[in-house]
Structure 1
Amino acid sequence: MNRFTIQLEEIQAAYAAEPNPTLEVRLERIGRIEKMIQANEEKICKALVADFGVRDSIETRLVEFQGLYQACRYTRKHLKEWMKPTQVEIPAYLGASEAWIEHQSMGVVGIMSPWNYPVRLALLPAIAAFAAGNRVWLKPSERSSRTSGFLANLIQEYFHPSEFCVTTGGVDVAEQFAALPFAHLFFTGSEAIGKKVMRAAAENLTPMTLELGGKSPAVIDSSAKLKDAAGSIAYGKLLNSGQTCIAPDYVLIEQSLQEAFIQELQSAATKQFSNPKEFTGPIDDDQLQYWQHLLSDALDRGATAIPLINDSSAGTRQFEPVALINVPQDARVLHEEIFGPILPILPAANTAAAIAFINSKPHPLALYWFGKDKKNLQQVLDQTRSGGVTINDVFLHAAVETLPFGGVGPSGMGKYHGKAGFNTFSYQKSILEVKGIFGTNLLKGTKPAHPPYGKRIEGILRRLK
């Protein structure tokens, strides 16, 4: 028995002593997360700068903190209603019987969080897990080591380890963590690592939520206003330097509109991100080298790079964002998740061609469509599969607490945010209370079907058809 197994048993024992925490207890724990962030915003911003090299504090407050505050507020408003038993309809032959669903806590939830938004994506699932009445054990990413370490210290300050435990460490720790028999394991990260985590969890038949990524397309319809589309896509691609699981990965557009779109894209990118101090850096040298390899591979195969930012400070960023045109189909950038400031722009003759290209790839986590033609939009919605869709902008479907967030197929399994998160971390227990007619044993439950069989049972079967 290793130290992780012992630690899990200690948290499980604490959970067993309080398996059905009250509404007040759940809200108090969520409130502590909120207070923890509010009291330490500035210090967290500094930790993120230490990891990314460049990470503007306004961007951090926008993409890390606001989503957490919103989740806390929304959960606080609706949790009482979520916790109520749900009455359900029953068949007529059960007479006066009653049926309902109770939402029960599951136990100890394991969370494996990523490095790209190391605060938001560690604490959002924790909020949902606490709302459902569980205990939480977090394993944050080692690639954002300074932020992960600081967050671990904060959580230890605000929570008892039997409520909210944190373990930091590298790949060896992650492997042991994924193999623990959690009540539920929540993983956010790459598809490749997600497969390894799923294999480890399978040994214990641990229920899982996988929040992965993939190649999220941006489709620009001929009816779109190019300036608006370019502004949104530039923001979506360059925020956090493209290190976002739902960042637009590539653009599909009619060839005749490509040149005008690129001009608008350059204008938008220069206007929004020309200040190097506001352009987030790569998380580490490995990420920077990955971008450089993707770009070199595409250029070597015949693609053309177009700088997205042209200004006097060009060259001061670790990696200058680019668009790629004339990209051959065998280029790595068309097959691997980019997770960086490189934007392939691909020709699509019409809506059908765009759909065909999207469907030739694994289902993406997000899809973005720009335009006014409702018929073309509906065709895209009907004939493609993606975790979520934002129309005429980027990201925002993931910011709406009433919309479940998650992937489909290779981009993930399971949903969270809002009520969906509460459901993910709850066990839905089905309950039937059997009653006879007018409080008697007459026609009660299975009684009419008891043997010996004969014409009476045959008559019942005919009436049930």
Structure 2
Amino acid sequence: MSAITTSTPMSEVLQLQRSAFHRDGPPSAALRRDRIDRFAHAVVSHSDDLVASISADFGHRPEITTLVSDVSTLAIEAELTRARVGAWMRPRHPWGRIGGAAGRLAGMRTQVQPSPLGVVGVMGIWNYPINLTAIPALSALAAGNRVMMKMSELIPNTSEVFANAMHDAFDVEELAVLTGDVTVSGEFASLDLDHLFFTGSARTGSAIMAAAAKNLTPVTLELGGKNPVVISEKTAADRSAMRRAAERVALSRIANAGQTCVSPDDVYVPELATRSFVQEVFNAWGRVVPDMFEENEVTTLINDAAYDRVVNLIEDAAAKGAQVIGSMRSDDDGEEALRAARILPPTVILGVTDEMEIAHEEVFGPVLAVHTYDDVDDVIDLLAEKPAPLVATWYGPHDPEFAAFVARTRSGSVSRNDFAVSQSLPGIPFGGVGRSGMGAYHGKAGFDTFSHLRAVVGSELPISLATLVTPTADTRLLKVVRQGIAGYTKVLERRRRR
């Protein structure tokens, strides 16, 4: 199989994998561990090539960003999955040990077997091309599936390195990597797969889901949204806690140049603390951004279209009355050099209103909208009315206010006092809800996503369930059933009177 594309049509690759899946049956735990090891080795042994290719595709991306957020995260996920896959494969007993034993004594044996789905398709994204493409593929392999991967068309160099590495580690019947433009992506989404996993924007995710629906292919969608951060009043009243929160928000907004689906878009700060919060954000940027420029370690926006899109959001906000505060000043030549390099200096926007595009569009750039509030309940009510984001973050103690924030808002996950902890720790399910996605992966959640929980029930009972629903002249059973329903009705009525 070529790194650029397969010489075999993708529909034939699908048939090859499906035939092999049915021929070989569910793989053993040993074979799944072997596939996990081969997959992880194919990535980590090509770390230097992946660092270089991802940087080339971006324009520039620091080595540490790729090694931590792409390569290391894959390695950690691989080791966790390898250690636990045997346990995850075991049949599950829905009645528990005692109930299961009683059922067997009565003549009923029940279990739920996690079964592979068949052939899983994974459509990757460009911003974290290993993390967000390889980890779901790894989970699908661990669940016993064959896997077809479609790399993003925006990262051709990375796609070539990754596809070559996987080609050397796997037969096409086990795993295939495909590349190509958006036309290829459309064809891929239309395949008669057993499951399709997609990471990207809500707009594209909707189109992918529509294409998959023609084959009734189930989908997992990892999307995005306007991720909010709330600075609690207790944090705002504590100078050191405020400084720490502002620094963490500031650094999280420039990670990968803001091209991160869990980056904060909007920050809500008590009104009296807003000025000091913004100053601390700029202080944090001032400590790190100059060194990033000095060492040529600034991540660039992925292409001109991405750069222009973020600039247009800023300009639209400014034209409609927002206050735009940049972290750098330069002359016309400097501005043009930054634009040519697709480097956008970190920016804060104050006074964002609902008619501004940035109030509704996920930014995907190093731009932070800061909002003020008087009563945190008003913020919670506001967030509850907005589309559910991928992550919501709270800076403050684990107290009743935080509990109310969790209970009364919707999001894929919640982080407290740091960036992305809800999706970075091993074994924690990661996924969206509503417009930020559907389904989850990482750890056991990923294994279950790519498995069918198949009920297997056997009966040694002397009578058949069919007998119970077949009318007969003997009305004794009918009387017993009626008595049982009447008794249950009384139980429910007593509960309602309590």
Deviation per residue, 1:272-318 (Å, 9 max, x gap): 3331222211011111111111111111111112224689xx96752
Q: 2:148 & 2:68 partners in 1: Cα distance?
A: 26
Task: Say whether 1:107 aligns with 2:118.
Answer: yes
Residues in 2 aligned to 1:203 and 1:75: alpha-carbon distance in whole angstroms: 33
**8 Å contact 1:11–1:108 — kept in the other structure?**
yes
Alignment RMSD (CA, Å): 2.1
Kept after mapping to 1: 8 A contact 2:395/2:418: yes
**Correspondence 1:262 to 2:278:** yes
Contact 1:401–1:417 (8 Å) recurs in 2? yes
In structure 2, the partner of 1:19 is: 25
Task: Give the letter for the 1:163 counterpart.
Answer: E
Asked if the contact 1:232/1:393 (under 8 Å) is kept, the reply is yes
Q: What SS does the corresponding residue of 2:233 show, helix, strand or coil?
A: coil
Q: Does 1:244 align with 2:224?
A: no
Offset at residue 169 of structure 1 (A): 0.7
Q: 1:4 to 1:141 in 2, by over 3 A?
A: same
- Give the Cα separation in 2 of the matches to 1:260 and 1:123: 41
Deviation at 1:395, TM superposition (A): 0.3
The aligned residue for residue 159 of structure 2 is 148
Map Cα deviations across residues 361-417 of structure 1 (whole Å, 9 max, x no partner): 211010000112612111111110000011111101101233211000100000111
2:249 corresponds to 1:233:
yes
- Cα deviation digits, residues 38-79 of structure 1 (max 9, x gap): 211111100011011221111111111111011111111111
Partner of 1:219: 230
% identical equivalent positions: 34
Match for residue 315 of structure 2? Answer: 296
Work out whether residues 184 and 206 of structure 1, in 8 Å CA contact, stay in contact via their aligned partners in 2.
yes
Summarize deviations over 1:85-110 as a string: whole Å, max 9, x none: 00122698993312110011011100
Structure 1: gaps spanning 5 or more residues:
none
Question: 1:101, 1:428 within 8 Å by CA — same for their partners in 2?
Answer: yes
Unpaired runs of 5+ residues, structure 2, are 1-7, 236-240, 486-498
Q: Distance in 2 between matches of 1:368 and 1:122?
A: 25
Secondary structure of residue in 2 paired with 1:219: strand
Letter of the 2:478 counterpart: E
How far the C-alpha of 1:460 sits from its partner, in A, is 3.6
Residue 347 of structure 2 aligns with an amino acid whose one-letter code is V
1:111 match: secondary structure: strand
For the 8 Å contact 2:80–2:427, the answer to whether it is kept is no
Q: How does 1:408-447 map to 2 (within 5 A)?
A: 408-436=433-461, 441=462, 446-447=466-467
Q: Which residue of 2 aligns with 1:136?
A: 147
Asked if the contact 1:435/1:445 (under 8 Å) is kept, the reply is no
Match of 2:184 in 1: 173
Correspondence for 1:73 among 69, 79, 96: 79
Distance, in Å, in 2 between the alignment partners of 1:417 and 1:40 is: 23
Change in Cα spacing, 1:373 to 1:210, as seen in structure 2 (3 Å) is: closer
Of 138-147 and 200-209, deviating more is: 138-147
Contact 1:266 1:307 in 2 (8 A): no
Matched, 1:350 2:375: yes
Aligned counterparts of 2:441 and 2:393: Cα–Cα separation in 1: 20
Contact map agreement 1:234 1:268 (CA 8 A) in 2: yes
Find the counterpart in structure 2 of residue 28 from structure 1: 34
Residues 18 and 118 in structure 2, CA contact (< 8 A), matched pair in contact too: yes
Extract structure 1 runs of 4+ deviating beyond 6 A: 90-94
**Which of 265, 269, 272 is the aligned partner of 2:288?**
272
Alpha carbons 2:103, 2:109 under 8 Å: kept: no
CA distance in 1, matches of 2:39, 2:158: 16
Partner of 1:307: 326
Q: Which residue of 1 aligns with 2:16?
A: 10
What TM-score comes out, normalization by structure 1 length?
A: 0.94
Write 1 or 2 for the structure with the bigger share of helix.
Answer: 2
Q: Deviations over 1:128-158 (max 9, x none)?
A: 0001000000111101221122211221121
1:304, 1:282 → 2: CA distance? 23
Q: Residue type matched to 1:456 in 2?
A: R
Question: For the structure 1 residues 289 and 448, does the alpha-carbon distance in structure 2 shift closer, same or farther, using more than 3 Å as the test?
Answer: closer
> Which amino acid letter does the alignment assign opposite residue 213 of structure 1?
G
SS in structure 1 of the partner of residue 404 of structure 2: helix
Q: Is the 8 A contact 1:211 1:407 kept in 2?
A: yes
Do the aligned residues in 2 keep the contact of 1:449 with 1:457 (CA within 8 Å)? no
Q: Which moved more, 1:348-357 or 1:338-347?
A: 348-357
Residue 478 (structure 2) aligns with: 458
Letter of the 2:250 partner, please give it: A
Do the aligned partners of residues 433 and 293 (structure 1) sit closer, same or farther apart at CA in structure 2, a change above 3 Å counting?
same
Change over 3 Å in CA distance of 1:221–1:117 after alignment to 2: same
Decide which of 120, 126, 129 is 2:137's aligned counterpart.
126
1:404 and 2:429 matched: yes
Distance 1:310 1:28, change over 3 A: farther
* Pair 1:18–1:464, CA change in 2 (3 A): farther
Letter paired with 1:300: A
AA of the residue aligned to 1:457:
L
How far apart are 1:359 and its partner, in Å? Answer: 2.3
* Conserved? CA contact 1:34–1:72, under 8 Å: yes
